[in-house]
Structure 1
Amino acid sequence: MTDQMAPGPTLTRIVEAVRLGQTGRAAEAREQLTVLWDEIGPAGDALHRCTLAHHLADLQDTPDAELRWDERALAAVSEVTDERARRHLPSLEVRALLPSLYLNLADCHRRLGNPGPAREHLDRAREHLARLPDDPYGEMIRAAVRDFDADDPTDHRRR
């Protein structure tokens, strides 16, 4: 038995587009997610906006574009309540999303040659590590934070 509940039509569409991107069809996935972003709108479900922006960042061609989507994901997560997140995944704590979101922002800034903001976001990621689950995902993020080098623009481990 799984802890995850049925994702609903919007999250299903997000997951389908992400999978499409993982098969090498990034442009098509990016287009689908962009259309869905427009459908959701700025006042739409914050969990949907956060999830979509987080994944759409990974499909961008430039660090500048990734950064804009990662910033949207972080902005949206501030509007997600634990109650809303738990309707998707009963054990999910919103704050457990923050290390990954901050790590992605740090990565973008590092690749853009901005070590100061990269370190600031990395510090924020570290502040929230205790919220990560004790599972392979949590360990992956903890390892990425431990191994991150804010001054090395060639190191781009996105999470």
Structure 2
Amino acid sequence: MITDETLIRIGQAVQLSHQGEREAARVLFAEIWDEIGGEHGDPLHVCTLAHAMADVQDDVHQELVWDQRALAAADQLTDAGLAQAGVTLPVAGLYPSLHLNLSECHRRLGDLDRAREHLQQAQATIGALGDDGYAQLIRAGLRQVADRLR
């Protein structure tokens, strides 16, 4: 169970975005971003917020910036830090989704070489996920991006 208050608030913003309240989600994400110190904040907060903020961007260039921030922050995480916050997924389990999103951004921007690189990285790290609903969602996304890149 997630025990970190900032992660809980980020989750509330994610719920807003899932309910179609993209602008309200962006506003809440921006407030939290300022509170955590932006890119200099706790890497778990930065990674989680940036990964979610990317999903509510209307401009693919901005989406890419947020996805890149999320990946950079993930590189600073540890399994112990995730567990302390109540996150059950290991750090390695974050990379398939992060690289999937980066692949799709690069594809949409027409940088197919970079898109393929991130797709390969996502595929190489997918083994860190089990076979639950989340893993199936990421695998389906990988198949979709791979098909789009053909």
Q: Same fold (TM over 0.5)?
A: yes
Letter in 1 for 2:114: P
Contact 2:4 2:86 in 1 (8 A): no
Provide the C-alpha distance between the structure 2 equivalents of 1:48 and 1:90, rounded to a whole number of angstroms.
12
Unpaired segments of 5 or more residues in structure 1? 153-159
Q: Higher mean Cα deviation, 11-20 or 96-105? A: 11-20
CA RMSD after TM alignment: 1.5
Unpaired segments of 5 or more residues in structure 2? none
- Aligned match of 2:92: 95
Contact 1:26 1:59 in 2 (8 A): yes
Q: Does 1:14 align with 2:7?
A: no
Q: Higher mean Cα deviation, 72-81 or 22-31? A: 22-31
Aligned equivalent of 2:40, options 43, 49, 61: 43
Residue correspondences, number: 148
- Aligned match of 2:101: 104
The DSSP-based 3-state class of the residue aligned with 1:59 is coil
Q: How far apart are 1:43 and its partner, in Å?
A: 2.7
Q: 1:131 to 1:12 in 2, by over 3 A?
A: same
Aligned equivalent of 2:21, options 1, 13, 25: 25
Instruction: Give % identity.
Output: 47
Q: How far apart are 1:90 and its partner, in Å?
A: 5.6
Q: TM-score, normalised by structure 2?
A: 0.91
- Aligned match of 2:120: 123
- Aligned match of 1:147: 144
Q: How far apart are 1:150 and its partner, in Å?
A: 4.8
The DSSP-based 3-state class of the residue aligned with 1:24 is coil
Contact 2:103 2:117 in 1 (8 A): yes
Q: How far apart are 1:60 and its partner, in Å?
A: 0.3
